């Protein structure tokens, strides 16, 4: 088929035009937008301060704002520019509700877009197939910039997860999550009973078990 030139008269059948329109609109089409929907309020810019490259769909903790209202000019930038933060290696207990998922891979000191609320694809280490939430991974078991860990509680809801790499369905798997859960369920387990109707308990950690260094609390029965 010869290429067209300016001024050439073209005659396209409606069936052909409809097919092109379908290709553009479908996932993977040539004109698929980077951000789904028209609202980009769930998008921030993040600077990878980690010493290693973090791939697209990787996780970073949200650190300090790179734009601070210290003078009139900076205040204008702070008010009207897209929020831009330092991205750090996420830590459990520190960045549980201050995390983002990258929309593109970032080298060290590179800045790019990341999602803070809404649905997005990530990898999760599924510890229990009954877990409905996810939390930041412990560095002792996983790279927290690559995967989350499933949990009985957390600020990240698992909307759907593929079967993990192990035979029983656990292990690392791709999943669709919802960031920015409106409520974060907290699970506690009673460890002993005391007098005066006071119950001693501890918070359940991300693996569903008690941790020796978890802070204790007392509540009236």
pTM for this model (two decimals):
0.68
- Segment among 32-41, 151-160, 207-216 with least mean pLDDT: 32-41
User: Is residue 82 pLDDT above 70, yes or no?
Assistant: yes
- Cα 97 to the center of its chain, rounded Å: 10
* pLDDT band of 139, cuts 50, 70, 90: confident
Same domain, 132 and 63: yes
Same domain, 114 and 203: no
Same domain, 119 and 140: yes
Average pLDDT, the chain: 79
Q: Which of 161, 179, 197 is the last residue of a domain?
A: 179
Same domain, 145 and 197: no
d(CA 102, CA 123): 12
Q: With respect to residue 111, please indicate whether it lies within any of the assigned structural domains.
A: yes
**Ramachandran angles phi, psi of 79, nearest 5°:** -75, -35
* pLDDT band of 90, cuts 50, 70, 90: very high
* pLDDT of res. 208: 57
* pLDDT band of 176, cuts 50, 70, 90: very high
How many domains, in total, are found in the chain? 2
* pLDDT of res. 63: 96
Q: With respect to residue 21, please indicate whether it lies within any of the assigned structural domains.
A: no
Same domain, 49 and 108: yes
181 vs 86, more confident = 86
Same domain, 95 and 203: no
C-alpha separations of 43 from 37, 46, 136, 179, 195 in Å: 12, 10, 20, 12, 51
Same domain, 68 and 147: yes
Same domain, 58 and 129: yes
* pLDDT of res. 37: 41
Write the DSSP string, 129-178: TT--EEEEPPTTTS-TTTEEEEESS-SEEEEEEPPPSSTTS-EEEEEEEE
Q: With respect to residue 22, please indicate whether it lies within any of the assigned structural domains.
A: no
Same domain, 175 and 77: yes
Average pLDDT over residues 181-194: 57
d(CA 70, CA 110): 24
Q: With respect to residue 52, please indicate whether it lies within any of the assigned structural domains.
A: yes
Q: With respect to residue 54, please indicate whether it lies within any of the assigned structural domains.
A: yes
User: Is residue 45 pLDDT above 80, yes or no?
Assistant: yes
Same domain, 157 and 198: no
Domain of residue 103, residue span = 43-179
Same domain, 56 and 144: yes
Average pLDDT over residues 37-47: 78
Same domain, 112 and 59: yes
Q: Which residues on adjacent β-strands are paired with residue 174?
A: 123
d(CA 36, CA 17): 24
């Amino acid at each position: 088929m010869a290429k067209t030139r300016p001024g050439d008269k073209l005659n396209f059948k409606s069936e052909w035009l409809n097919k092109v329109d379908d290709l553009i609109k479908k996932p993977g089409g040539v004109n698929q937008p980077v951000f789904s929907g028209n609202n980009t309020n769930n998008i921030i810019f993040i600077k990878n301060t980690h010493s290693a490259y973090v791939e697209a769909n990787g996780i970073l903790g949200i650190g300090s704002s790179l734009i601070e209202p210290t003078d009139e000019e900076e205040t204008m930038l702070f008010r009207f520019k897209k929020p831009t933060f330092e991205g750090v290696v996420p830590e459990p207990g520190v960045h549980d509700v201050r995390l983002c998922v990258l929309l593109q891979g970032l080298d060290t000191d590179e800045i790019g877009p990341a999602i803070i609320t809404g649905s997005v694809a990530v990898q999760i280490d599924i510890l229990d197939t009954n877990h409905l939430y996810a939390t930041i991974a412990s560095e002792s078991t996983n790279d927290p910039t690559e995967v989350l860990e499933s949990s009985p509680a957390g600020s990240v809801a698992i909307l759907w997860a593929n079967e993990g790499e192990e035979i029983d369905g656990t292990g690392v798997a791709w999943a669709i999550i919802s960031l920015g859960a409106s409520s974060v369920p907290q699970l506690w387990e009673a460890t002993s009973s005391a007098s005066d109707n006071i119950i001693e308990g501890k918070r359940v950690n991300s693996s569903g078990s008690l941790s020796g260094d978890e802070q204790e609390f007392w509540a009236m029965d």
